[in-house]
Amino acid sequence: MTQDELKKAAAIAALDYVEDGMIVGVGTGSTVNHFIDGLAGIKERIAGAVSSSEASARRLEAHGIPILDLNDITDLPVYVDGADEIDAGFCMIKGGGGALTREKIVAAVARRFICICDTSKKVACLGRFPLPVEIIPMARAYVERELAGIGGRPELRDGFVTDNGNLILDVHGLMITSPRALETELNQIVGVVTNGLFARRGADVLLLATPAGVERQVAS
Ligand SMILES: O=C[C@H](O)[C@H](O)[C@H](O)COP(=O)(O)O
């Protein structure tokens, strides 16, 4: 199977978590695009979707799936999203597509986070994938110095502006042995909007697509 076929298999397996009348939180990325396409097939059964990015909103709209404002919702039963890396404790690095801030907001509201991945995303230690950090533009140089101070090598994502009008620094060289602590520490740097560590709110269920089938793993 190709990597894209594996992504699609994980995405289709996530449809099992969508129940009648539900509002569905929808992430961002190539894996989630398969989920959105699958959701289109059952759109009459759901109340609508909350999107984590402009890109996913456009895809949902193209399928005629109603998009709801997160501020109008008090209960979001499920959020389905991919990851750039996920460890054994279901902590993740996310934001390869630059959607980390809205993803983290929607994930915070959701009762259950379903992570859909192919096996290439499963790692023993987070950090091989450069950690995305969304920053306020005027704080760029300051935040770069702070990140270098903790051993990272920040690189500005060239020509990229987030849906929120901000910049992304991709931080190389971090071996993330304590993801929860690092997530908290990075949040304390003035000028950081969000960092791509999803550790304090990790995944609840991992649907991991392997050539032998989709493994369903539940957080302990
Ligand atoms: O900002 C993007 C998101 O965090 C994605 O969930 C992540 O980058 C994984 O994307 P993909 O499914 O394309 O590998």
CB atoms closer than 10 angstroms to residue 163: 17
**Predicted local distance difference test score (pLDDT) of residue 177:** 95
C-beta separation of 143 from 189 below 8 A: yes
Predicted ipTM > 0.95: yes
| 13 and 109 housed in the same domain | yes
Residue nearest to atom 6 of ligand 1 (CA): 82
| DSSP states along the chain | --HHHHHHHHHHHHGGG--TT-EEEE--SHHHHHHHHHHHTTGGGS-EEEESSHHHHHHHHHTT--B--GGG-S-EEEEEE--SEE-TT--EE--TTS-HHHHHHHHHHEEEEEEEEEGGGB-SSBTSSPEEEEE-GGGHHHHHHHHHHTT-EEEE-TT---TTS-EEEEEES--BS-HHHHHHHHHTSTTEEEESEE-TT--SEEEEEETTEEEEEE--
Predicted pLDDT of residue 220 = 84
Residue 103 is among the residues annotated as catalytic for this protein: yes
pLDDT of residue 86: 98
Residue type, 153: R
Average pLDDT, the chain: 97
Examine the domain organization and report whether 209 and 104 are in the same domain: yes
Q: Which domain holds residue 149?
A: 131-196
Compute φ and ψ for 2, nearest 5 degrees.
-80, 165
CATH number at residue 37: 3.40.50.1360
Say whether 84 counts as a known binding-site residue. yes
pLDDT digits (tens, 9 = 90+) for 45-95: 999 999 999 999 999 999 999 999 999 999 999 999 999 999 999 999 999
Cα 95 to middle of ligand 1, angstroms:
6
The string of pLDDT tens digits covering residues 103-147 is: 999 999 999 999 999 999 999 999 999 999 999 999 999 999 999
The verdict on 158 and 172 lying in the same domain is: yes
d(Cα 31, Cα 17) in Å, to the nearest integer?
16
The CATH number that applies at residue 177 is 3.30.70.260
How many folded domains does the chain comprise? 2
Does 82 show up as a binding residue in the annotation?
yes
Nearest CA to ligand 1 atom 9: 83
pLDDT tens digits for 194-220?
999 999 999 999 999 999 999 999 998
Give the model's pLDDT for residue 135: 98
Closest residue (by CA) to atom 3 of ligand 1? 95
Same domain, 150 and 206: no
Q: Given ligand 1 and candidates 84, 100, 133, 194, which is best to mutate, with the most ligand atoms within 8 Å of its CB?
A: 84
101 shares a domain with 175? no
Q: Which of 5, 85, 103, 146 is catalytic?
A: 103
10-34 pLDDT per residue, tens: 999 999 999 999 999 999 999 999 9
Q: What's the token pair of residue 133?
A: 């950090």
| Tens-place pLDDT, residues 141-193 | 999 999 999 999 999 999 999 999 999 999 999 989 999 999 999 999 999 99
- The model carries a pTM of 0.97
Q: Which two tokens stand for residue 175?
A: 């071996």
Residues with CB under 6 A from ligand 1: 27-31, 81-84, 94-100, 103
Distance 85 CA to ligand 1 centre (A): 9
Q: Are 97 and 14 part of one and the same domain?
A: yes
Radius of gyration, CA atoms only, the chain: 17
Determine the pLDDT at residue 27: 98
Relative to beta strand 76-81, strand 167-172 is unpaired
